Amino acid sequence: MDKTNNSRRDFLKTVSGGILSSLFITWRCTSGRKQKPNIVLIMADDLGFECIGANGGNSYSTPVLDRLAAEGTRFEHCYAQPLCTPSRVQLMTGIYNVRNYTDFGVLDTSQVTFANLLKQVGYATCVVGKWQLGGGLEAPHHFGFDEYCLWQLTRRRMDDENRDTRYPNPKLEINHEEVNYTNGEYGPDVVSDYACDFMQHNQNRPFLLYYPMILTHCPFDPTPDSSDWNPKSSGSLNYKGDIKYFGNMVSYMDKMVGKIVNKLEELSLRENTLVLFTGDNGTDEPVVSYLDHKEISGGKGLTTDAGTHVPLIVNWPGVTPEGHICRDMVDFSDIFPTICDCTELTTHRDLKIDGRSFLPQLKGEKGNPREWIYCWFSRNGNVEEARVFARNHRYKLYQTGEFYDIQNDILEKVPLHTEDLGEPELSIRKMLENALEQYKNIR
């Protein structure tokens, strides 16, 4: 593990100890009368780029997200990790997995999150939805969240009868307490209701709402809007469920985003709130969708585009230009510094993060675009099993030497041979080799 873990642990102790109080005073004095922007970060579970209508998706109804894109900035090249926990760790810390990922379902307690930093400058902070990062009942507080309403914090995803516990009549944990619902409640409704209550209770101060959604992860199951919804169901006995419900779940996911946005509008907070929407990895493998009328098979768990290419829609009235499309590359390490820059925080610069802020791009400005992004992916943190690559828009180079033209070989079936490359391709390969070299000896 990277030697910077000790320094990050020291930094976290410093933050928790209140030494940033002087920063808070400075922040309050220089912020004037205008309140700092609220931050709402929503991340759907197992939802690839191809599932959103605004991206060219032809399979599902996403009117809320389509409208947010039409009125804001849509990023065409955002890349996550291929699986949930690796993506969550990278998103929350701004660090590539090669330096701080330990195991599936774990966020190492030495790490500092964007919530830690925003909390210390007066933000109310809340996380609702799916946790899956371990750490016990105190973990959300340790990582900077004042409040939580979560599924899979310390409880298993299945009950004693091997039924899934996230959708009908869910089993959740709310601020240290186990809460079992038995009156036909639906997990995504419960956590989004909590999110709305949090925003209402904190409408007079800046807040961070992080909403890693429960939807659209399997089991594919009826939603309350499905014709065969059963409010008496105790949860699916089948891990995957029935794929015919995936479209219903995408629609309900979009509806939940709409609930959050509508609440912001009801509270007259919309103008001063940055809303970011993304997905934690590609769509699950059984799902086949259409993007610009081309078939896309879900690639969750794979390092191809189908496993890593995710939507990113950013909407901040008066800041994000309407209908702007950004084709710069963004990866999940970039969200951390972008949130910090949007709130005029600078403390993240004391941390050795890998992310690069895309605040200028979400405003429609040029910014400092990436030439490449990097990925180190190992589900359980094993070095021997890691799949490692660097890529730009068109080409991808794996640490094993495989080199692909992913524009023309999106499934990565035919690697390019060095002897067949022209000067432009050789130059790009060299650039990607240099990118891989930067992280080569960390583990």
pLDDT tens track for 252-311: 999 999 999 999 999 999 999 999 999 999 999 999 999 999 999 999 999 999 999 999
Residue with tokens 């432009």: 424
What pLDDT, on a 0 to 100 scale, did the predictor assign at position 10?
A: 60
Say if residue 423's pLDDT is above 60.
yes
Contacts of 101 (CB under 8 A, 6+ apart): 86, 89, 90, 376, 378, 381
Say if residue 2's pLDDT is above 80.
no
Say if residue 199's pLDDT is above 90.
yes
Which pLDDT tens digit goes with each residue over 388-409?
Answer: 999 999 999 999 999 999 999 9
What's the CA gap between 349 and 76, in Å, rounded? 27
What pLDDT, on a 0 to 100 scale, did the predictor assign at position 182?
A: 97
What pLDDT, on a 0 to 100 scale, did the predictor assign at position 14?
A: 53
Which pair of tokens denotes residue 355?
């992310």
What's the CA gap between 188 and 207, in Å, rounded? 21
Range with the lowest mean pLDDT among 33-47, 60-74, 361-375? 33-47
Which pLDDT tens digit goes with each residue over 75-101?
Answer: 999 999 999 999 999 999 999 999 999
Say if residue 29's pLDDT is above 50.
no
Say if residue 441's pLDDT is above 60.
yes
Which pLDDT tens digit goes with each residue over 178-190?
Answer: 999 999 999 999 9
The domains located in the chain, with CATH, are: 4-385 (3.40.720.10), 395-438 (no CATH)
Say if residue 104's pLDDT is above 60.
yes
Say if residue 239's pLDDT is above 90.
yes
Contacts of 190 (CB under 8 A, 6+ apart): 149, 170, 172, 181
Spatial contact of 301 and 82, defined as CB atoms under 8 Å apart: yes
As a three-state string, the secondary structure of the chain is: CCCHHHHHHHHHHHHHCCCCHHHHHHHHHHCCCCCCCEEEEEEECCCCHHHCHHHCECCCCCHHHHHHHHCCEEEEEEECCCCHHHHHHHHHHCCCHHHHCCCCCCCCCCCCCHHHHHHCCCCEEEEEEECCCCCCCCHHHHCCCCEEEEECCCCCCECCCCCECCCECCEEEECCEEEECCCCCEHHHHHHHHHHHHHHHCCCCCEEEEEECCCCCCCECCCCCCCCCCCCCCCCCCCCECHHHHHHHHHHHHHHHHHHHHHHHHCCCHHHEEEEEEECCCCCCCCEEEECCEEEECCCCCCCHHHHEEEEEEECCCCCCCCEEEEEEEEHHHHHHHHHHHCCCCHHHHCCCCCCCCHHHHCCCCCCCCCCEEEEECCCCCHHHCEEEEECCCEEEECCCCEEECCCCCCCCCCCCHHHCCHHHHHHHHHHHHHHHHCCCCC
Say if residue 354's pLDDT is above 60.
yes
Beta bridge mates, 389:
375, 398
Which pair of tokens denotes residue 169?
């009549």
Mean predicted lDDT score pLDDT of the chain: 93
Which pair of tokens denotes residue 51?
């599932």
- Of all residues in the chain, the percent with pLDDT exceeding 70 is 92
119 or 13, higher pLDDT: 119
Spatial contact of 64 and 260, defined as CB atoms under 8 Å apart: no
Residue 12 banded pLDDT, cuts 50, 70, 90:
low
Which pair of tokens denotes residue 166?
């996230």
What pLDDT, on a 0 to 100 scale, did the predictor assign at position 348?
A: 80
What pLDDT, on a 0 to 100 scale, did the predictor assign at position 282?
A: 98
Beta bridge mates, 211:
42
Average pLDDT over residues 139-147: 98
Say if residue 437's pLDDT is above 60.
yes
What's the CA gap between 32 and 30, in Å, rounded? 5
Q: 10 Å Cβ neighbour count for 104?
A: 15
What pLDDT, on a 0 to 100 scale, did the predictor assign at position 34?
A: 63
Residue 20 banded pLDDT, cuts 50, 70, 90:
very low
The pTM of this model reads 0.93
What pLDDT, on a 0 to 100 scale, did the predictor assign at position 23?
A: 40
What's the CA gap between 333 and 373, in Å, rounded? 10
